[in-house]
Each structure stands twice: as structure tokens, then as C-alpha cells.
Amino acid sequence: MQKKCEKLEKNKKKLEQEVVHLRSHIEMNMIEHSQVEQYKRETEERIQAASQENLEQLQEKNNASIRSQMELSIKDLESELSKVKTLQEDSHKAELETYKQLYLVELEVRKSLEGKLDKTALHLDCANGHSAVVTLLRERKCLLNLCDNENRTTLMKDDLTSLLLAICERRGQMVEFLVKKEENIHAVDKMKRTALMLAVKYESINVVRFLLQQGADIFSQDVFGWTAEEYAVISGFNM
């Protein structure tokens, strides 16, 4: 009986030890499980933080790319606007220059018209070959040297004397009239062309004959060294 009691006592102690061991093991497992859970949570938190960081980086890169594209688009637009502005300025300058030229032409036309309107009767009649009227005006002592608004005398136009002007305008009767009034048949224009040279140039046969009869110099030369005879050769005119 005593032995059984001792055996039971031993079994009891053994069981108590096993219970203590089990409790310790359970506690250890609980600690390990708690650590595992904590590690799991920490890992998840790190993963979430890393994902959030990656997401933010991706968003930042995307935003940077969008900003860069927008800046390029803005630069392109500014460049196009600058080109359009330049084209508009060039167009305005060209238009202004056109108006300026038209205005200058208008001024020239006005001056020309004013000059024509301001010419005296003697100016007009000399230019148009009205020898009878010129004779009358000369007899009444009209001012032959009176200048119009272009600083031309009645018997001068484009550096031409009255005789040279009459020849250029093929006014044969006026030529004879002026020569009879002792107009200088040896006078020259700014190219040093004589009355005979101009008569040959304008193929005025009667005038050429008349000037030769009046003693026109056939050897006189213009600024190019040409004589009346050479003018005739060039023009195919038979003197």
C-alpha cells in the first residue's frame, strides 16, 4: 500500500513536471507566435511603405514627364506665336511700304499735274509746236526765260533747247521757225547730241536736209564719240 502511494506520488510529480513543461512550451509557442505575428505585421508595414514610396516615385516621375511635355508644348506655342508675330510685323511693314510708295507716286502725279496746270501759254505752245502762237507771244514780248514749277524755261525741257525739243517731238515747222529766229543749231543736250544727231535719230528727213542746208556740223561728237553719220549708220538712215 505504501509502495502504491509512493508510486502515485511519483506519477503525480511527473505529471506536474509535464504540466509545467507543457505550460512552458505553450508559453514559448505563444511568444514565438506573437513574434511571428509582429514580424508579419512589420513586414507588411515595410512592404506597404515601400509600395507607397514606389507609388509616390512613379507619380512624381509621371508628374515630371507631364510637366516636361507641357513646357515643351508651351515653348512650341511661344515659338509659333513669335513666328506669327514676325510675319504680321513683316506684313505690316510691307503694307506700310506699299502705302508709302503709293503716297510718293501720288505726290509725283500731283506735282506733274500742278506743273502742267502751271505752265504758261508760251510753255504749252512751244511744246505743242504752235509756231503761230509762239510768234504772237514773242512779238508781245512774253518772257521766254520764265520758269515753270519744274524750273524749266519755256524753250527748255529735259536739258533740251527749244530747237532740240521741237526735233524730238517731230515738229518740222517749229524747227524751221526757230532756226529762222536765230536759234542755235549747234546747241547740244546733256549727252552732247546736236540737232542733226537727234533729227537722224528720229528719222526726220526734211529736218536733216534743212539742218544740213543751214550748215549743221556733221563732225560733232556726243559723249560716246559718235557723229551724226554714225547715228545714221546705226539707225539705217541714209544721209
Residue 34 lies in a domain: no
Q: Number of structural domains, the chain?
A: 1
Q: What's 226's domain CATH number? A: 1.25.40.20
pTM, full prediction: 0.40
In a domain, 184, yes or no: yes
- Any domain includes 171: yes
Share of the chain above pLDDT 70, in %: 67
- Mean pLDDT of the chain, nearest integer: 75
Residue 208: give the domain boundaries: 119-235
pLDDT in tens, 29-67: 666 667 767 877 887 888 888 778 888 888 888 888 888
Residue 149 lies in a domain: yes
Is 88 domain-assigned? Answer: no
d(CA 198, CA 184): 14
Answer yes or no: is 206 within a domain.
Answer: yes
Residue 127 has pLDDT above 50, yes or no: yes
The answer to whether position 7 is within a domain reads: no
Q: Comparing 95 with 123, which gets the higher pLDDT?
A: 95
Q: What is the pLDDT of residue 222?
A: 93
- Long-range contacts of 216-225, Cβ-Cβ distance < 8 Å, separation of 24 or more: 216/185, 216/186, 217/186, 220/186, 220/188, 220/192, 220/194, 220/196, 221/192, 222/188, 222/191, 222/192, 222/193, 222/194, 222/197, 223/191, 223/192
- The pLDDT tens digits of the residues spanning 160-175 come to 788 888 898 888 888 8
Residue 167 lies in a domain: yes
